[in-house]
Amino acid sequence: MIKLEGVSKQFGNTIAVDNISLTVNEGEIFGLVGPDGAGKTTVIRMITGILAANTGRIIVMGNQSLETIKQYIGYVPQKFSLYGDLTVIENIRLMGALYGSVPNQVEKLANEILTFTSLLPFKDRLADNLSGGMKQKLALAAGLMHRPKLFFLDEPTTGVDPVSRREFWQMLYSLNKEGMTVFVSTPYMDEAELCNRIAFMHNGKIVSCQSPQGLRDQYPYKVLELKTNRKDIKKYLQNCNLRDLNAFGDKYHLIVDDPQEAILAVRSALAAQEIDIFSLEEISPTLEDAFVAMANEEG
């Protein structure tokens, strides 16, 4: 469905995308994950033809000329880009008209899509008066007005509440089951877990591209999860031979080579400071552990 070969993009002296290659298969939910500034948005804009690559080849649905297949592509940008002074239904009608649909077809599609996205009861509400989650559903609905075969979403749920995020992904799954290929960038690890495959970007490069389980399986270290009531724990563990220590909410992930040796060292170090340990045990690495390790290796 998508093939990138040696693709690069430079803005002045800044290399935004650095000689990347990847393949997206038909029917996949493909995730692009990475920190801010990694190059995710630039990649999506090049694939959709908004930006031109400086080097390399981009083939979408078997075509190098993106103009010939734009009618089959849907795109939800990172920032809400519809008209706040138009109602939900007016935005949808406008998008339908821009895609060349006749009025009767627009109304039929609009009702179907607004029902699918649960926006039909709000069709006469101004877009500016929608919540963040509802605005993203409206952007999704607008992107579906021409029934695309390939759907791009650039961090579509950033700033959206957890319930709306879950509903949004349920809709993506329904679309995917109907045969739509989905290409989504996301900063959320729980969303990355929902993708068939994930490409991790860092400093403009693709560091790894695998299934979520494959990324966890390739993690080279062991992870200990520590629960304690202290927030300044790192300075007490400097002599415990840890590769890394990362905070995850009220827990810490300690990255080690030898779990049993590290457990003894950590218990001894914290006991010497009279710091209580609520729990300390080895756990399976998370996607976030894998991404932190890959980012550190790339510098």
Q: Same domain for 111 and 82? A: yes
- Across the range 48-60, mean pLDDT stands at 94
> Domain total for the chain?
2
Radius of gyration of the chain (CA): 23
Using the predicted structure, report yes or no on whether residue 102 has a pLDDT greater than 70.
no
pLDDT digits (tens, 9 = 90+) for 59-73: 999 988 888 888 888
Asked if residues 256 and 221 have their Cβ atoms less than 8 Å apart, the reply is yes
Report yes or no on whether pTM surpasses 0.75: yes
* Phi/psi of residue 26, nearest 5 degrees: -60, 135
Q: Same domain for 37 and 114? A: yes
- Across the range 173-188, mean pLDDT stands at 91
CA–CA dist 64, 60 (Å, integer):
6
CA–CA dist 290, 219 (Å, integer):
6
Three-state SS at 27: coil
Contact partners, residue 18, CB within 8 Å, separation at least 6: 8, 39, 203, 204, 205
pLDDT digits (tens, 9 = 90+) for 129-167: 988 888 888 888 888 878 889 999 998 888 777 887 888
Q: Taking all residues of the chain, what is their mean pLDDT, rounded to a whole number?
A: 89
Whole domain around residue 112: which residue ranges? Answer: 2-211
Q: Same domain for 193 and 92? A: yes
Q: Which two tokens stand for residue 285?
A: 């690495």
Q: Same domain for 33 and 131? A: yes
